Amino acid sequence: MGNRLSLRSEKRSKMILSIVLAVICVIYVLPVVMVALNSFKLNTYVKTDTFALPTGEMWAGIQNFEKGVTFGNYPFWNSVLYSTVITLLSTGMILLFTSMAAWYIARVNSLVCKAIYYLCVFSMVVPFQMVMYTLSQTADSLSLNTPWTIPIVYLGFGAGLAIFMFAGFVKSIPLEIEEAGSIDGCNTVRMFFSVVFPMLKPTMISVGILEIMWIWNDYLLPYLVLDINLYRTIPIHIQYLKGSYGTVDLGATMALILMSIIPVIVFYLACQKHIIKGVAAGAVKG
């Protein structure tokens, strides 16, 4: 009798948990659905019938997408190019340099390495707003205000999380594997790229996904650092979809927002299982 009651209680708890998670999922997905619906409405109906389906006289077809792409004097595809360059360069630098740093920190047990590690962890909780003004001045003085140099700034901001995850995973790798490589004649560089680097794949994919999603959607850092008259990322381009007297075409804005989030959503859905694997692998030893 007691076992039956416990089973019923467990099933009821799982059902309640499933309902709660389903509601949370709907809350998170609803804004994306609303953006998709309003991207196919005429601008007037976006304001008056926000939650209605784009049918009948509301239907705008691809008009909003065409207007969003061709609006203004700044080409939208230039923004796509700059966002892509910044995202790929920044992510590549973060993955390469932070994995090397995390391996060194995890294997060299010294006070300096421990201090660097905890400073990196501390940087994860520092709000960007605390440093954004001094950062923009520093970036200008060091000529880091172009799409090809701003990845250095992103490297500094993304290093905290990346080193934290990589260091946790490196600690779970048996030291005997590296000792065997050393016996076979591997120097430090070859040891990392031939022995350690391939084993970092789960965390490498996980960190890469998280960094790509962050950098691709970031608005504030490029806005503060880049010369927006020359270089505009997609979020900045969307922000400048304004007509005379500051009027905003919400239909075109929704269309460009949808175009910008679809690649990230597809990328995340295709790689989400690697995030769980990477985080779990990096949490074996802390």
- The pTM of this model reads 0.84
Radius of gyration from C-alpha coordinates of the chain? 24
- The Cα 174–Cα 185 span in angstroms is 18
**Taking residues 5-33, what's their average pLDDT?**
84
pLDDT of residue 271: 77
Separation CA 119–CA 113 (nearest Å): 10
- Banded model confidence at residue 87, pLDDT cuts 50, 70, 90: very high
The model's confidence at residue 83, banded by pLDDT at 50, 70 and 90, is very high
Q: Name the pLDDT band for 3 (thresholds 50, 70, 90).
A: low
Least confident of 30-39, 97-106, 122-131, 240-249: 240-249
E-state strands within the chain: none
Place 8 in a pLDDT band, splitting at 50, 70 and 90.
confident
Cα–Cα separations (whole angstroms), residue 105 to 102, 166, 170, 274: 5, 10, 9, 24
Judge whether residue 284 has pLDDT over 50: no
pLDDT band at 286 (very low <50, low <70, confident <90, very high): very low
Mean pLDDT of 52-65: 85
238 is written with which tokens?
């969307």
Band of pLDDT at residue 4, cut at 50, 70 and 90: low
Give tens-digit pLDDT for 143-171. 888 999 999 999 988 899 999 989 988 88
Q: Residue 282 and residue 170: Cα distance in Å, rounded?
A: 8
Instruction: Check residue 239 and give its pLDDT.
Output: 85
Helices (H), 129-174: 132-141, 150-170
**Residue 81: per-residue pLDDT:** 94
Say if CB 259 and CB 65 are below 8 A apart. Answer: yes
Q: Kindly tell me if the per-residue pLDDT of 277 is higher than 70.
A: no
- Residues 203 and 265 sit within 8 Å (Cβ to Cβ): no
Domain 86-241+270-282 has CATH 1.10.3720.10: yes
Return the sign of the alpha-carbon dihedral for residues 265, 216, 168, 126. Answer: negative
Q: Are the CB atoms for 213 and 264 separated by under 8 Å?
A: yes
pLDDT in tens, 204-254: 888 888 899 899 999 989 999 998 888 999 999 888 877 555 677 788 888
